[in-house]
Amino acid sequence: MFLKDVESHEGMGPYSELIRRARQTSVPPSGLWHLLAFKPEMTAALTQLTQAAMRGPSPLPPGMRELIAAFTSRRNECVF
């Protein structure tokens, strides 16, 4: 993914801070971080939903949920 306006945006907030830290250590930041940092007010609900699904009460431990997500991403040919 490359969206010039999104990836060059210098925002505020936790995802913008993750991007800055990654760049300082010469690690390429996740493309998803750019999307979440671009319009944080619009992505807050998505991050809350993700956290609830992955970390909220469940008969499955968080590690198993992460493994299911990674497996599903791989099956969908999505880098996870």
Residue 52, φ and ψ in degrees, nearest 5? -65, -40
Question: What is the value of pTM for the model shown?
Answer: 0.59
User: Which pLDDT score is estimated for 2?
Assistant: 67
List average pLDDT for each run of 10 residues in the chain, which is 80 residues long.
76 88 88 85 87 93 93 84
> How does DSSP classify residue 58?
-
Taking residue 36's Cβ as centre, other Cβ atoms within 10 Å add up to 22
Contact (CB, 8 A) for 9 and 37: yes
Q: What is the distance between the alpha carbons of residues 36 and 50, in angstroms, rounded to a whole number?
A: 12
